[in-house]
Chains A and B, each alone.
Chain A
């Protein structure tokens, strides 16, 4: 079981890694399916991470 500092570090890492969907290529080339750049629907993942961060902040 990770202690709180490890947990926070994990959340901070994910917070930086996932962010809010800024994709380097710009929105114009993002598409889902059989075209060029696939940037998966991270909103669900992000919502989850954001919720975890808020939970940690409330402690």
Chain B
């Protein structure tokens, strides 16, 4: 028998039902549970070589493979969440053996119970803040005094000087854009916190390696309509600036399952 490691999906309370007939990460329907101190971890024992660093690295550009892991992980999570609150773990959280998983559940039991309480009755939604390049570029001139002044100078300057000033304006726009984007993210985050009194985790474009910034919010299940309403309102506010807000969810509360969030 080839060596195995445990691919762990989530942690719930003891008594949480183990899902049946769900396709799991290795393509089978084998989900096992380990119970320690009132907590249950759900896992699939997977081939240690298949889920080893070199194999994952070699397949990291295989979107079909990555996608199949993603969808299977998500399907298991959806089935688990139907049975009640769980702490969702990110993809590829692996334990070397059942003993190490048990030890981990035991040593972190207080923290896990605290996180479970925090997640009870809640859902995670994501507000992605998208910037239309040309409209946002125009909006920057309206928003930033220095850019507005430069644009005015360009209008009054002779052709040669105007050319140089336009180059300067482009450079200044690049610098101003990051700051202005952060300001919009902070404004949206503040509006969400004020209206919904919920926990939020903002991720900047830098944290997302250049992808659009987003705000993950943890709201009560019955607050979805209010979040949608707020999103519409904010989108109207930023429409002239070429800023749109994409709302997706509900997601398993991955952003709020970490230790840092629980300790806040």
Interface residue ranges, A against B (CB under 8 Å): 10, 12-26, 29, 32, 34-42, 44-50, 52-54, 57
The answer to whether A19 and B90 touch across the interface, beta carbons within 8 angstroms, is yes
Q: Which residues of B contact A19 (CB under 8 A)?
A: 90, 254-255
The answer to whether A10 and B258 touch across the interface, beta carbons within 8 angstroms, is no
Interface residue ranges, B against A (CB under 8 Å): 5, 11, 51-53, 56-57, 60-61, 63, 66-67, 70-71, 73-74, 87, 89-96, 100, 103-104, 108, 126, 130, 207-212, 248, 251-252, 254-255, 257-260
The answer to whether A24 and B94 touch across the interface, beta carbons within 8 angstroms, is no
The answer to whether A14 and B90 touch across the interface, beta carbons within 8 angstroms, is no
The answer to whether B70 and A17 touch across the interface, beta carbons within 8 angstroms, is yes
Contact partner, A37, options B11, B56, B94, B208, Cβ 8 Å: B94
The answer to whether A45 and B66 touch across the interface, beta carbons within 8 angstroms, is yes
The answer to whether B209 and A17 touch across the interface, beta carbons within 8 angstroms, is no
Measured CB to CB, the closest approach of chain B to A51, in angstroms, equals 8
Closest to A25 in B: B104
The answer to whether B104 and A10 touch across the interface, beta carbons within 8 angstroms, is no
Q: Which residues of B contact A23 (CB under 8 A)?
A: 90, 93, 258
Cα–Cα distance between A5 and B67 once the two chains are bound (Å): 14
The answer to whether B66 and A14 touch across the interface, beta carbons within 8 angstroms, is yes
Contact partner, B257, options A21, A24, A34, A45, Cβ 8 Å: A24
29 CB contacts below 8 A, A to B, read A10-B63, A13-B67, A14-B70, A14-B91, A16-B126, A17-B74, A17-B90, A17-B91, A19-B90, A24-B87, A24-B93, A24-B258, A24-B259, A35-B96, A36-B95, A36-B96, A36-B103, A37-B93, A37-B100, A39-B94, A40-B52, A40-B56, A40-B94, A42-B92, A48-B61, A49-B66, A53-B208, A54-B209, A57-B212
The answer to whether B70 and A57 touch across the interface, beta carbons within 8 angstroms, is no
The answer to whether B63 and A52 touch across the interface, beta carbons within 8 angstroms, is yes
**Most chain B beta-carbon neighbours within 10 Å: one of A13, A16, A40:** A16
